[in-house]
Amino acid sequence: MNHPFFKKLNILKRTLRLSPTRKEDIRAQLSQFIDEHQLEYVRRGDSHRLLIHKESKQLLNIKNLLRPMPIIAAFTILATMLGGGVSYAAQVALPGEAFYPVKIFGENLATDLTFSAKAKAELSAQKVGHRLEEASVLVAQGKMNATTSAILASNFEKNADEADNNIGQLKKSGDVTTAANVALNLTAFLKAHQEVIARFEAGSSTLVATLKELKGDVNERFDEAKKLSDDLNAEVVASSSEPVVKTAVEGRVTAAVNVINEAQKFLDNKKSDMSADGVAEANAKIAVAESDIASANEKIAAGAYADALDLADKAFREAKEVKILAQTQVLLNLRVRREDGREEASSTENVESSSTRSNEGQGEIHSSGKSTDKMMDTATSSKSDAADENGQGESKNLDLNAQGNIHLNAEQDSNKAPEINSDQNGQIKFKFEF
Amino acid sequence: MTILKNDKTKFLEAYNAYADAIFRYCFFRVRTRTEAEEIVQETFMKTWKYMASGAEIENIRAFLYRVAANSIVDSGRKKREESLDELLSDVHRPEPSYEEKKDIEDAILMKDIRAELSALPEEDRDIILLRFMDDLSPKEIAVALEISANNASVRLNRAVKRLKQHLKEKKKL
């Protein structure tokens, strides 16, 4: 190419570069950075001694929980297991535990290594969901106190800020429909956990003060996210041709139907761990969501796409709330049963038992030993939230067994447990009456 | 160049080989030389962190461009992102401190190149620079832009056609 334009490009190729001094400066800093960010692991027999990233300067001995692998690979697996329900990722480490900063590091790394705006936004919304799930697990394990609540609130705020930014970037990139879908998912998490927090508070006066900061943050974030979601929906309807809008709205309806099916499946599998009233109320809410879907479809047929979107979103949030409330009730009921000591034997086996998870070819995390606990047999399914948004269905196992592991490995401080009352069957009397 | 995880020596070799190219890539897209230098550093650090997680990178050069592109986007987000249109315009570009005659010559060349590129759609400018300034193959461009190899080839062909057309028309004037 002999044109002067290309000649200029060629000249610049040779001349435009870092100054030698600056290049060397950066190299020196990079070299130091590399030295500070080397990761190693040492394996000794049955006990896996993991040398954590030097930044955190912690030594952990995680026995029979993780296969021997470089710790950062474990983080990557954990981070990529985000999605759907009270997940393994939410439970493996909790605020206040030694492993928690390492888990957060892994999550942040996963976000850094995600390069598409869509994936970044979806991941960050899921992280918000996981912070809220951690709150439920903390309460279930009697570990929600001023310290853990403060850690949780701080991380929640950071993740919520990140989600807002990433949704904004997605919108700026021109993909308003996906931005709207992610915003909806975020509002669904927040709304459901508003209800969870309200019920925790209703069941325990101790928790009112402890959860005050988190509750305020969640309420504020829900209002902001709802407004954003509504604005994005309006933009979806206004900015495209009718066929495009119709497709987007139908996709939203499909996503809502998937979440309804998810919630129903969870109820069908876990009703033995819930109160009869709880199941009845959940089924009633699902019926409302299904009715909203029927109305949404009518609106689509009539060309009233904005109304259809509102109804589909309402159904989505309702179904998500059903599932999250049900999961939380199951969590709390499991803890009550263990405090009774009735399932102590099988719970002990859980420490040794494996929870084999296949995570899209990235490897497995499992421990040695056999699983005999009945909870493995009753593991439920939950879809990834990203899949929900796309209206596609694919199930992963909700690993209740992991709850047993964490519960027994973590230090128990029943003196700090919020009040939990249960009836003769181990069902919580007041905390989670729907 | 394939770099195995945790291979510090090879990684620094890659730095020596590609730092200037990444710098050029960044300098065309950000406001100041300092910002471009910061993004170069950030790019290599992020890439190292990725490798330290256990990943192997088959084509480090293309990967570096991808990371740099995302870092540029993040940088713009923090500073109220401007479009490439505004960056191409000299109105918003602060005057650099010219320490060497070479810097002045480079600045003039960049201005000329930007002026030609401003006639093209935004997506064309990026791909033209990646191909002719940075010498990336269509496959590498695909990695850098996170598109398919086929898409990269198609877009590149179109961009080159449009550029040639523009240069031809300009010559006539």
B156 neighbors B148 (Cβ within 8 angstroms): no
Dist. CA A125–CA A111, nearest whole Å: 11
A23 Cβ under 8 Å from any chain B Cβ = yes
Q: Which residues, 6+ apart, have CB-to-CB distance to A356 below 8 Å?
A: A364, A365, A366
Q: Do A113 and B81 touch (CB under 8 A)?
A: no
Q: What does the DSSP 8-state code read for residue A414?
A: G
| Closest partner CB to B20 (pick from A17, A37, A75) | A17
Q: What does the DSSP 8-state code read for residue A395?
A: E
- ipTM for the complex? 0.80
Question: In Å, how far is A98's CA from the nearest CA of chain B?
Answer: 20
Q: Which of residues 73-132 of B touch A (CB under 8 A)?
A: 73, 77, 81, 102, 105-106, 109-110, 112-113, 116, 132
Question: In Å, how far is B34's CA from the nearest CA of chain A?
Answer: 10
- What confidence category does residue A45 fall into, taking pLDDT thresholds of 50, 70 and 90? very low
Q: What global pTM score does this model have?
A: 0.49
A165 Cβ under 8 Å from any chain B Cβ = yes
- Whole-angstrom distance between the N-terminal and C-terminal Cα of chain A? 74
Q: What is the pLDDT of residues B75-107, one digit of tens each?
A: 775 544 444 444 444 444 444 444 456 667 777
- Model confidence at A100: pLDDT above 90: no
Question: In Å, how far is B86's CA from the nearest CA of chain A?
Answer: 16
Dist. CA A165–CA A160, nearest whole Å: 9
Q: What is the pLDDT of residues B8-49, one digit of tens each?
A: 888 899 999 999 999 999 988 887 888 899 999 999 999 988
What's residue B13's pLDDT? 92
Q: How would you label A403-420 residue by residue, b for 16+ Cβ within 10 Å and e otherwise?
A: bbbbbeebeeeeeebbeb
A227 Cβ under 8 Å from any chain B Cβ = no
Nearest chain A residue to B171, by CA: A3
Cα dist. B63→A5, A119, B86 in Å?
Answer: 27, 18, 27
Q: What is the pLDDT of residues A268-303, one digit of tens each?
A: 888 888 888 889 999 999 999 999 999 999 999 999
B56 Cβ under 8 Å from any chain A Cβ = no
- A-chain residues near B24 (CB < 8 A): 12-13, 16-17
| Closest partner CB to A11 (pick from B37, B48, B109) | B109
Question: In Å, how far is A384's CA from the nearest CA of chain B?
Answer: 24
Across chain A, what does the average pLDDT equal? 69
What's residue A298's pLDDT? 93
A415 Cβ under 8 Å from any chain B Cβ = no
At residue A412, the 3 state secondary structure works out as: coil
At residue A171, the 3 state secondary structure works out as: helix
At residue A301, the 3 state secondary structure works out as: helix
- What confidence category does residue B65 fall into, taking pLDDT thresholds of 50, 70 and 90? very high
